[in-house]
Amino acid sequence: MDMARKIGIPILAIVLFLAFWEFIVWVNGWPNYVMASPSDLPDAYVRFWNLFLIGSWQTLWRTVAGLILAVIFGIVLGMIMGFSRVARDGLYPLLVGFNAIPKATLVPVLALLFIGEHNFNTVLMAFLISFFPIAVSVGIGLSTLEPEYRDILRSLGASKVTIFWKIALPKTLPEFFGALKVSVTLAFIGTNLVEIISPHGRGLGALFLSGQTNSNYPLMFAVLIALAFLGIVLYYAVVALERIFAGWAERPQG
């Protein structure tokens, strides 16, 4: 019953959203060259299915690669900030300032620095835009670790490594996975920024640009829905990992 609810409610929400979208287009009488409706999208998927498969894979693997780098870097940086007040006070302003920079402005900079390195630029942007929430969540989780736990374990002869693995890391996992869910969507944004702003003919961003150039609005909206679908899939992959490694932190719902 619980599984049926968890699957059925998201599907119902998506169906209601698509129905509302169709209704809005129908009420306003918008043609598909102004605003495509959900009923216009299946034809685009059928006509360009091979391009969607290729583009989805190209976008997905770059996004996942950037996200993996963000996880590694974010955890290391979060540990540094979590265990050192000096590092935390020094790095926080830099991280906040960097995160406040519109990432679209970095795309031309990367394109000039690494000319022709399209895959590298795309992965790098996905990394740059998604590591911040992970680093901050891990840093906050470790910095708020109760000192009593550390004092007790130290009095029992536990090393700092043992304290980290036995107490600090498990305590931080709920915050880490919460931040990772946010980073998933940010990584997709970073990937598509490069694919659209600095086009190199790859990924779903290139397919979106093709639809824009040819005024094929159903294709453009089909690409957006494909991106949303990939984001949902990756999000639920993170949810599955969270239940495996931090399922103990989930509170039962009434």
Q: Do 90 and 170 share a domain, yes or no?
A: yes
CA angle 7, 8, 10 (to 5 degrees): 75
Torsional sign, CA 51, 52, 56, 57: negative
Same domain for 23 and 44, yes or no, is no
Assess if residue 180 is contained within a domain.
yes
Looking at the domain assignment, is residue 254 inside a domain?
no
Distance CA 5, CA 44 (A): 32
Domain count along the chain? 2
List strand residue ranges (DSSP E) for the chain, in order: none
Residue 112 maps to a domain: yes
Q: Domain range spanning residue 125?
A: 40-249
Q: Tell me: do 240 and 131 sit in the same domain.
A: yes
Q: Mind listing the pLDDT tens digit for each residue in 202-224? A: 889 889 988 888 888 899 999 99
Do 23 and 80 fall within a single domain? no
- Regions of the chain with pLDDT less than 50: 254
Q: What's the confidence (pLDDT) of residue 253?
A: 52
Regarding whether 22 and 54 lie in a shared domain, the answer is no
pLDDT in tens, 19-64: 999 999 898 888 877 788 888 899 999 999 999 999 999 999 999 9
**pTM, to two decimals:** 0.85
Query: Would you state the pLDDT for residue 149?
Result: 67
For residue 202, is it within any domain? yes
Is 173 among the domain residues? Answer: yes
178 and 100, same domain (yes or no)? yes
CA–CA distance, 43 with 41 (Å, rounded to integer): 5
Q: Does the residue 122 lie in any domain?
A: yes
**pLDDT score, position 248:** 64
d(CA 135, CA 139): 6
If asked whether residues 123 and 7 sit together in one domain, one would say no
Residues 10 and 135 in one domain: no
One domain, residues 61 and 27:
no
Q: Does one domain contain both 5 and 83?
A: no
Confirm whether 95 is domain-assigned. Answer: yes
Residue 56 belongs to a domain = yes
Q: State whether 23 and 105 are in the same domain.
A: no
Q: Are 73 and 131 in contact (CB under 8 A)?
A: yes
- What pLDDT is attached to residue 254? 47
Q: At what angle do helices 106-113 and 118-143 cross, to 10 degrees?
A: 120
Where residue 75 sits, what CATH number does that domain have? 1.10.3720.10
Residues 147 and 225 in one domain: yes
